[in-house]
Structures are given as structure tokens and as C-alpha cells.
């Protein structure tokens, strides 16, 4: 038995020595470029769960909370992170020129698609593929995001917001919400139901289930979108261990069935009905291709519409929550926006899609929200070869950084969006900056290059329509609560905009009051 223990101990020691040798080799490979040295990397399950422990783990929210602080600390717009378990080299970068170089060269800096495997729930899609396979998805998906679709998104969004005013808020002079996502999530859900799937979903819950279903389409959409994080975290066998997890598992099954039914219905229809929703456009584009490897399978169709649903639902809901929270905190900016909306819609009419370009202050408010709260805080890339990158710092100095093949490059969105080289007073809410000259390469809430978000216009159209409609008719304030009566402005801002990690940056609680304007 003693010999067995000695053998086991020898293996442990050999493993530890090998890890330390690889660790030292990685440090040497980057010429000891400044950065963090930890046992566990940030991009891991433990890294996302544990708080910062020096030398052990960078900590959850390690990308979001420091903003540009880590770059200031290391004196350069790039820093390294080297870990033991596993042995890994990561580089975080917030230099706009360097990021543009990376996003402009997909061959040199491919996407590490293995990190996105969890998003293949319904099939491979435009997010989880690379190279020729990605090109196939892009070719089919691109026509779905047309000007005709954007116009429909605006019209349906305005219609849905007005239905909320008439059926949910009714004649109330004040609407109090404990958390703004209680409003923005249902709004985004109804829009994606109509503009994404071509299914009219009302505020009134439909309890008449179609034959063969255990959930309504609206319920399935809701539970999939809100339970996605659990689906990512838990393996399939664990999804039956708790009522909530079973509910999410059923929702995924139901949504897959609904999507397949829509594919079959629209593919086999004797008479084609003209529709402009994403699902139909994607199906038509795929069916219109020849058999030269560009036609999408049913699972790929389901996979792509799921990704568009995810991008067009949670991201919109969270961004609008931050947006309304900022307007509530900065009343002067809200008044500027209101007066601008009044000047464009002087007769008090509802905004139309043709008004969108004229509503440039609405766009500026929306963009400034995305700058302050980028939905995706880190975008991973991988070095396909041994190479170098040139990065700068606040004093204008340039530094050449050695990048070994296989190094993971993290495009650090908070670092970029709060970089004082590109943004004056970066922590302040100043929408006006987007009506003036600004560095377009330093604003990347939708990523950049060929792999930038295909649904950007869809997302902007929906968000700006909701923002304009609500501010036109309601004044927004932070809900007053006795326990916070004596807090300072900075304390209130920190409380209102406390965030957590989800699939996108997620507000914890944004309590607001919507007061009807006279």
C-alpha cells in the first residue's frame, strides 16, 4: 500500500513539475509581457464563479468592473494573463487600431469556435462556425436582414408598445416597476415573436395549446430566453433534477418542435404567403440556393433563428433597461431627448420608420448606452500563427508585443469603450458625443470586421423605436425607496447599475417609475 502511495505521489509531483515548466515556458514566450499570473484563467467555469483572489483567479466580472483600469495599471493598452490550470496564454487588448487589425484578418485571427459549442442547441449556426462553413451560413442569412425587414421591425415594435400602453398600463398616471427588465423583456419577446418568427404574440397570454404541445409558443420563447444560462451550465442529465430546470428543458423541446412545424408549414404550403420576418426570409434564402453546399439543413435553420432570437431578445431588453436607468439618473439628458422627439414629431403622432434618421438624439442616447454597457464584454480571437502586434498607451508610446501561435486574444470592450484616448470623460453619460466626430473603431458593441453582428440594424431599429415611443409619452424616474433616502448620486448610480455576468452583461435591479406626460 505504501508503494502505491509513493507511485501516486510521484505522478502528482511529475504533473506539477510539468505544469510549472509549461507555465515558465509561456511567460518566456511572451518575453514576460506585463499582466496577471494566476492558477485559474478568467475564461473558465471557476473563473466566472469565484471573486478575484490574487495569484489564484482573476475573478468574475474581471473584464467589466475594472473598465480601463487594468490597462492603466500595466501602462499599456494590452496586458497578458498566464494561468496554470490549464496552461494558457491570454492577451487582453483595448487599442482601437490593433483591434481593427485583428477583426480585419479572419485568417490570422480566427474565432475559437470550441468556446461557442454550447450555442449549438438546435443546430450549427452563424455564431458557432468558421471558415467555409461560416461563409455558407453568412450567405444564406445576409438577405434575411433587409430594409424591408427593418421597416417591419419598426412598425411591429411601435404597435406592440402602443398595445402595452392600452392594455397593460391603461390609464395609469404612474407605472412603478421593481426591475426595468420586467417591462423590456416582454417587449423584446413580443417583437422577436412577430419580426423573428412571423407569429403574432399578444400581451394577453394564450392558454389554448396547439395539439401535441405542453407549452404555448410565448411560454416556450420566454423560458428558453430566460433559462438559457442554466442550459449552458448544466449537462443534459442534470436538467431533470429540479422543477425550474425541467421547465427549461421542456421549453427547449417545445420551441424546437414549434420551429420545425413552421419550417414544414411554410415549405409545404400550396400558396405562398408573403412574409418579411427573419424565419421566412432565412428559409426562402436557403431554399433558393442550389445544392452546391450552401443550402441549410433543418437543424441549421433552427440553429440560426435561435441565435437571432437570443441576440434580438436578451440584448435588447438589457440595453433598454440600462438606457431607461441612465435617463432616470440624468434628467437633463432625458429632457433633451424629449424635446428632440417633440421637434421631430411636432404633432404628437407615433414615430414611423421614415423618422428614424431624423431621430438622431434617440440614436445618440442608444449608442451612448451601448458604449457604457457593452452587451458582450469580451470577444475572443485566436492567433493562427506566431506573430506580433503593435499597441499604444496614454502617452502615445508604441510597443511591439510577441504573440505565440495559439494565444487567445481578448478584445476587451469595456477597456475600449472607457479608453480616455478615444472618449473624453468616459465614465460620464454624454449622448452628444455621438452627434460629433468620434473614433468609429473605438465603438464596437457589435464587434467588427466580417464577423460583426449581422442583426445590428434589426437591434437598433427595435431599440430606438421602443425608446422613442416611451420617452415621447412617459417621464422616467428612479423609484424612491426609504432605505436609500440618504445615498449620494454616485452611490445611487452604483446601485442602479450593478451588473452580473450572464450570456450578456445583465442588470441586477433597475427600479423605475414611468410617469405619463400631460
Residue ranges covered by each domain of the chain: 2-113+387-417, 134-376+445-516
380 bridge partner residues: 410
53 DSSP 8-state letter: B
Q: What's the rounded Cα separation, in Å, for the pair 19 and 149?
A: 53
Residues 6+ apart with CB under 8 A from 274: none
The answer on pLDDT for 112 being more than 70 is: yes
pLDDT, position 280: 81
d(CA 228, CA 310): 9
CA distance 148 to 154: 10
Name the average pLDDT for the chain. Answer: 89
Q: Once rounded to an integer, what is the mean pLDDT over residues 383-412?
A: 95
41 near 112, Cβ under 8 Å?
no
Strand, coil or helix: 389: strand
Give the residue among 361, 355, 356, 360 at the shortest CA–CA distance from 332. Answer: 361
**Spatial contact of 387 and 424, defined as CB atoms under 8 Å apart:** no
| pLDDT tens sequence across 128-146 | 888 888 888 888 888 878 8
Whole-number pLDDT of residue 453? 83
Distance CA 109, CA 381 (A): 6
**CB 474: neighbour CB atoms within 10 A?**
21
Give CA–CA dist 385/472, Å, rounded: 53
Q: What is the mean pLDDT of residues 50-63?
A: 81
Averaged pLDDT, 298-324? 87
Q: What residues contact residue 428 under an 8 Å CB cut-off, 6+ apart?
A: none
Task: Say if residue 456's pLDDT is above 90.
Answer: no
Q: Rounded CA gap, 129 and 208, in Å?
A: 38
Site of grid cell 468616459: 426
Q: Which helix (H) or strand (E) holds 470?
A: helix 456-473
Supply the Cα-derived Rg of the chain in whole angstroms.
24
The owner of cell 501516486 is 8
230-269 pLDDT, tens digit each: 887 788 888 888 898 999 999 999 988 988 888 888 888 7
The span from the CA of 301 to the CA of 320, in Å, is: 28
Average pLDDT over residues 401-427: 97
User: Residues in the chain, how many?
Assistant: 518
**Which grid coordinates belong to 395?**
502617452
Out of 113-117, 255-259, 275-279, 287-291, least confident range: 287-291
**For the segment 352-372, what is each residue's pLDDT rounded down to a tens digit?**
999 999 999 999 999 999 999
CA–CA separation, 452 and 455 (whole Å): 9
Helices (H), 269-355: 278-287, 298-329, 331-344
Q: Is the model's pLDDT at 108 over the cut of 70?
A: yes
C-alpha cell at 229: 444560462
Local structure of residue 57 (DSSP, 8 states): B
Give the separation between CA 43 and CA 160, rounded to whole angstroms.
39
Rounded-to-integer distance, Cα 239 and Cα 106, Å: 36
Residue 288 has pLDDT above 70, yes or no: no
H-only helix segments in 164-297? 181-191, 217-233, 243-268, 278-287
CA-to-CA distance for 438 and 364, rounded, in angstroms? 12
Q: Which residues 6+ apart lie within 8 Å of 172 measured at CB?
A: 516
Give the residue ranges of the annotated binding site. Answer: 453
Question: Do the bridges between strand 78-83 and strand 499-501 make them parallel or antiparallel, or are there none, so unpaired?
Answer: unpaired
Q: What is the DSSP string of 30-80?
A: TTT-SEEEESS-SSSHHHHHSPPBTTTB--TTTTTTTTTHHHHHHTSSEEE
SS (H, E, C) 406-422: CCEEEEEHHHHHCCCCC
- Model confidence over 176-235: pLDDT tens digits? 999 999 999 889 988 888 887 777 777 766 556 888 899 988 888 778 877 877 887 788
Give the whole-angstrom CA distance, residue 24 versus residue 32: 9
Question: What is the residue whose three cell numbers read 415611443?
Answer: 469
CATH class of domain segment(s) 134-376+445-516: mainly alpha
Which residues define the annotated binding site for heme?
A: 453
pLDDT at 292 over 60: no
* C-alpha span between 240 and 236 (Å, rounded): 8
Alpha carbon distance 297, 421 (integer Å): 46
| Residue found under cell 460583426 | 452
Amino acid at each position: 500500500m505504501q508503494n502505491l502511495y509513493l507511485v501516486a505521489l510521484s505522478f502528482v509531483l511529475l504533473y506539477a513539475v510539468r505544469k510549472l515548466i509549461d507555465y515558465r515556458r509561456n511567460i518566456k514566450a511572451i518575453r514576460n509581457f506585463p499582466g496577471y499570473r494566476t492558477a485559474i484563467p478568467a475564461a473558465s467555469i471557476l473563473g466566472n464563479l469565484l471573486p478575484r483572489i490574487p495569484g489564484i483567479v482573476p475573478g468574475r466580472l474581471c473584464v467589466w468592473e475594472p473598465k480601463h483600469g487594468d490597462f492603466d495599471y500595466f501602462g499599456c493598452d494590452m496586458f497578458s494573463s498566464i494561468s496554470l490550470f490549464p496552461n494558457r496564454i491570454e492577451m487582453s487588448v483595448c487599442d482601437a487600431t490593433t483591434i481593427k487589425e485583428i477583426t480585419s484578418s479572419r485568417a490570422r485571427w480566427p474565432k475559437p469556435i470550441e468556446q461557442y459549442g454550447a450555442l449549438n442547441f438546435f443546430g450549427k449556426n452563424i455564431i458557432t462556425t468558421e471558415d467555409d462553413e461560416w461563409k455558407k451560413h453568412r450567405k444564406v442569412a445576409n438577405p434575411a436582414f433587409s430594409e424591408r425587414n427593418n421597416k417591419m421591425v419598426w412598425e411591429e415594435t411601435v404597435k406592440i408598445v402602443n398595445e402595452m400602453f392600452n392594455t397593460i398600463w391603461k390609464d395609469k398616471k404612474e407605472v412603478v416597476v421593481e426591475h426595468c427588465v420586467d417591462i423590456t423583456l416582454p417587449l423584446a419577446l413580443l417583437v422577436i415573436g412577430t419580426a423573428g418568427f412571423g407569429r403574432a404574440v399578444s400581451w394577453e397570454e394564450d392558454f389554448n395549446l396547439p395539439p401535441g404541445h405542453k407549452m404555448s409558443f410565448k411560454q416556450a420563447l420566454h423560458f428558453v430566453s430566460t433559462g438559457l444560462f442554466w442550459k449552458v451550465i448544466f449537462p443534459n442529465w442534470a436538467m431533470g433534477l429540479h422543477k425550474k430546470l425541467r421547465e427549461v428543458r421542456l421549453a427547449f423541446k417545445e420551441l424546437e418542435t414549434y420551429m420545425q412545424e413552421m419550417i414544414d408549414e411554410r415549405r409545404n404550403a400550396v400558396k405562398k404567403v408573403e412574409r418579411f420576418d427573419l424565419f421566412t426570409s432565412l428559409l426562402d434564402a436557403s431554399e433558393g440556393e442550389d445544392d452546391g453546399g450552401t443550402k441549410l439543413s433543418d437543424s441549421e435553420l433552427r440553429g440560426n433563428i435561435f441565435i437571432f432570437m437570443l441576440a434580438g431578445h436578451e440584448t435588447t431588453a438589457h440595453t433598454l433597461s440600462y438606457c431607461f436607468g441612465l435617463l432616470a439618473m440624468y434628467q437633463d439628458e432625458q429632457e433633451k431627448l424629449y424635446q428632440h422627439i417633440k421637434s421631430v414629431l411636432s404633432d404628437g403622432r407615433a414615430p414611423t420608420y421614415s423618422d428614424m434618421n431624423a431621430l438622431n438624439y434617440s440614436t445618440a442616447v442608444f449608442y451612448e448606452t451601448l458604449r457604457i454597457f457593452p452587451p458582450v464584454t469580451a470577444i475572443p480571437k485566436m492567433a493562427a500563427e506566431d506573430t506580433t502586434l503593435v499597441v499604444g498607451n496614454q502617452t502615445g508610446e508604441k510597443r511591439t508585443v510577441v504573440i505565440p501561435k495559439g494565444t487567445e486574444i481578448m478584445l476587451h470592450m469595456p477597456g475600449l469603450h472607457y479608453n480616455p484616448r478615444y472618449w473624453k470623460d468616459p465614465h460620464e453619460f454624454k449622448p452628444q458625443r455621438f452627434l460629433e466626430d468620434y473614433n468609429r473603431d473605438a465603438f464596437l458593441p457589435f464587434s467588427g470586421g466580417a464577423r460583426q453582428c449581422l442583426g445590428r440594424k434589426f437591434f437598433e431599429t427595435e431599440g430606438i423605436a421602443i425608446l422613442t415611443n416611451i420617452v415621447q409619452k412617459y417621464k422616467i424616474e428612479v423609484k424612491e425607496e426609504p432605505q436609500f433616502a440618504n445615498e449620494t448620486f454616485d452611490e445611487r448610480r452604483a446601485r442602479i447599475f450593478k451588473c452580473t455576468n450572464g450570456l450578456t452583461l445583465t442588470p441586477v435591479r433597475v427600479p423605475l417609475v414611468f410617469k405619463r406626460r400631460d
